[in-house]
Amino acid sequence: MKNNDTSRREFLTAALMAGIAGGCSSNNTFRPGEDQIIPSGEMVKLLSVDGEIIEVDKAFLKPIPELPPITNSEERIGIEGKKFVMVIDLSRCKNVGACKSECNHAHHLNPGQNWIKIHAMQEAEHTAPYWEPATCMHCDEPPCVKVCPVDATFKRMDGIVLIDSDRCIGCRFCMAACPYSTRVFNWQEPVAEKEIATQHYSCETSVPQKIGTVSKCDFCPDMARKGELPHCVSACPNGVFFFGDMNEDSVTNGAETFRFSDLIKDKAGYRLMEDLGTKPRVYYLPPVNRNFPFETGLKTDTIEKNNAK
């Protein structure tokens, strides 16, 4: 597994470099004569598109702007060739809450709003308690999408269920329909810094939050487009969350990468409320052979931290 991971990182680094190099060698973006850039003398090594290492003066490197904004209709179609999937390993969770706070921070959620909820579960009196982080399940038969009267919440080709807050009329039927209670509502004007609040709304970042509309976990497709993992996955110190692509049959939590089908088979993965027929895209690994006893998650500091959010 370790091997697998390093090679992936190398690949990503190389790909990123190639992107920069590509930007540099293109005539359109790199015209030293016109732009009058004075070479600094400091050289950097880059990987060219042809796979050769080249040296370029640092002054000629321009930061690539953020990926070009995509249109609403592209956002509604999704990322081609992907089928995103998440695996949550309950044997590793001890209610640290880093997933939640990172998610809240990244999506500028307001106090009282949490897209990720960490439930303290106990099925029956004599069964074992465990921590169950719950995101949006991005169901393949999404009850929320079925009931939306204006197509404001929709299912994409890549499996992700998103919300168009510029279209949502705030009827909250989707909240009643969702059996996982994953959706939150902006009951008042969301508090956000001006530069965030004035941004153009994007379904993929779910930012900025809009008053009188519904929001929820979006599987961070904006991060996926950049080749990065969702915020909760990278934030979790215990590697609880695995994210990946079903078509590639691989999931990773950043440190470990698994073949998705093997992982589910070996660890007897399951989905929540299978009997409802919603077909979630989030799989759970049962809380067996746990890394932490349930009680460690009850420590008052974590609980307080979580409730304060």
Catalog residues that contact other proteins under the rule CB under 8 A: 100, 112, 114, 116-121, 134, 143, 146-152, 167-173, 175-177, 179-181, 183-189, 211-214, 272-273, 276, 306-307, 309
Tokens of 160: 């992700």
Q: Nearest distance from residue 66's CB to other proteins, in Å?
A: 29
**What is the separation, in whole angstroms, between the first and last Cα of the chain?**
36
Residue among 92 and 183 whose Cβ is closer to other proteins: 183
**Closest to 117 in 3D by CA, of 141, 105, 133:** 133
184 to each of 207, 256, 260, how far by Cα in Å?
Answer: 14, 32, 30
Cβ contact 159:82 at 8 Å? yes
Neighbouring C-beta atoms of residue 126, cutoff 10 Å: 6
Dist CA 44 CA 153 (whole Å):
46
Residue among 170 and 239 whose Cβ is closer to other proteins: 170
Q: Nearest distance from residue 272's CB to other proteins, in Å?
A: 8
Q: Nearest distance from residue 302's CB to other proteins, in Å?
A: 12
Q: Nearest distance from residue 106's CB to other proteins, in Å?
A: 17
**Closest to 104 in 3D by CA, of 15, 202, 235:** 235
Dist CA 53 CA 17 (whole Å):
10
Q: Nearest distance from residue 118's CB to other proteins, in Å?
A: 7
Dist CA 95 CA 255 (whole Å):
20
Residue among 16 and 171 whose Cβ is closer to other proteins: 171
Residue among 113 and 202 whose Cβ is closer to other proteins: 113
Residue among 42 and 304 whose Cβ is closer to other proteins: 304
Q: Nearest distance from residue 76's CB to other proteins, in Å?
A: 12
| Residue carrying the six token digits 């969350």 | 241
